[in-house]
Amino acid sequence: AQKITQTQPGMFVQEKEAVTLDCTYDTSDPSYGLFWYKQPSSGEMIFLIYQGSYDQQNATEGRYSLNFQKARKSANLVISASQLGDSAMYFCAMREGRNTGGFKTIFGAGTRLFVKA
């Protein structure tokens, strides 16, 4: 069964510094996708970044980068130059079965990030 693990319930980071949010996953499907979503206190779910299992390079989107280590089954999110607005809950997620009928995306328990001024 697929599984996503986020071991950091909460993280603190100083404004303008970089922070890494950890995520490990487990799947037997060779084709899968990894995602990070942000949930601010307002409650909406915002897509940040995606990494495909066959992608050779780590994904980057602005200040977000995904440190994909396939052999270790880890997909850590790196946020550079943290801003106060980055304070939120961050969810790692995995989708299996790119070519099957039912796409199923499961989520980790989340990490709450606090950015200090």
Partner 1 sequence: DTAVSQTPKYLVTQMGNDKSIKCEQNLGHDTMYWYKQDSKKFLKIMFSYNNKELIINETVPNRFSPKSPDKAHLNLHINSLELGDSAVYFCASSSRTGISGANVLTFGAGSRLTVL
Q: How many residues bind partner 1 (CB under 8 A)?
A: 25
Q: Is 38 in the site for partner 1 (CB under 8 A)?
A: no
| Residue 11 near residue 114 (C-beta atoms within 8 A) | yes
Whole-angstrom distance, CA of residue 78 vs CA of residue 67: 7
Task: Find the part of the chain contacting partner 1 (CB under 8 A) among 20-28, 35-43, 68-76, 80-88.
Answer: 35-43
| Residue 35 near residue 103 (C-beta atoms within 8 A) | no
- Using the minimum distance from each CB to partner 1, give the nearer residue, 86 or 96: 96
Distance of alpha carbon 80 from its chain centroid, rounded?
Answer: 14
Q: Is 101 in the site for partner 1 (CB under 8 A)?
A: yes
What are the two backbone dihedrals, phi and then psi, of residue 10, each rounded to the nearest 5 degrees? -145, 145
Residue written as tokens 């328990």? 109
- Using the minimum distance from each CB to partner 1, give the nearer residue, 79 or 95: 95
Among 12, 26, 47, 72, binds partner 1 (CB under 8 A): 47
Min. distance of Cβ 117 from partner 1 in angstroms? 24
The string over 42-63, giving b where at least 16 C-beta atoms fall within 10 Å of a residue's C-beta and e elsewhere, is: eeeeeebbebebeeeeebeeee
Q: Which residues bind partner 1 (CB under 8 A)?
A: 33, 35, 37, 39, 43-45, 47, 50, 52, 55, 89, 91, 93, 95, 98, 101-107, 109-110
